[in-house]
Amino acid sequence: MKIRNLVLAAALTAVFAAAPAQAESTFEIGLGANYWYSIKDAVDNKFDENGLGWMISSRWMWTDYIGLGLELERSPKNFVALEDYIYAPSAHLIVGDFIYLGFGVGCYYYDDDFYDDPWYNIRAGIKSKILSPLVLDFNVNYRADSFDKIKDVSDEANGETLTFGAAVRLYF
């Protein structure tokens, strides 16, 4: 697992290093929320099939239409029937501007451990500069999850989730 984390860190470093340095590049950082809805019925009745989570959201646009989004989500204590918060760091390749697509990968952090099974995400969104320097972002996501490596969660716990998100970010 430590090797996977090192490979992920090296890949992210390579992406940042390979990004073109342009005067048009922008950086955005802010806060948001997401509402998830499970497409499949939960394996365990203790699972919440919908709920609200919070996130720190950032985006670095290298050009007008290509960028990288980094997020850290915090799900509520009842997410996948756990007794404590679960965190989900993720990275998305962003393509587009006002209307955009994102292709991402993330993992779960719970009980002082990163879990081996990543989740994959496809995002469609609308981003608009509302007041200088604020950006408003609405998105819908399809996420394929696997929870079977998380301690205290059933081995059969896999999920497909729709997530509706909103974020307000400052741009620089």
Residue bearing tokens 């709920």: 51
pLDDT score, position 65: 96
Q: How many domains does the chain have?
A: 1
Which helix (H) or strand (E) segment holds residue 171: the answer is: strand 158-171
Highest mean pLDDT among 2-6, 41-45, 107-111: 107-111
For the four alpha carbons of 80, 160, 8 and 34, in that order, the dihedral sign comes to negative
CATH of the domain at 24: 2.40.160.20
- pLDDT at 76 > cutoff 50: yes
Q: Using the predicted structure, report yes or no on whether residue 156 has a pLDDT greater than 60.
A: no
pLDDT digits (tens, 9 = 90+) for 16-33: 544 554 446 799 999 999
Task: Give the residue ranges of DSSP H helices in 1-158.
Answer: 2-18
Query: Which tens digit of pLDDT belongs to each residue from 93-104?
Result: 999 999 999 999
For residue 108, which amino acid is it? Y
Beta bridge partners of 72: 56, 89
Q: Which domain holds residue 72?
A: 2-171
pLDDT tens digits for 50-68? Answer: 889 999 999 999 999 999 9
- Mean pLDDT, all residues of the chain: 81
Q: Model-level pTM greater than 0.85?
A: no
Which comes out higher in pLDDT, residue 111 or 147? 111
Query: Does position 88 have pLDDT exceeding 70, yes or no?
Result: yes
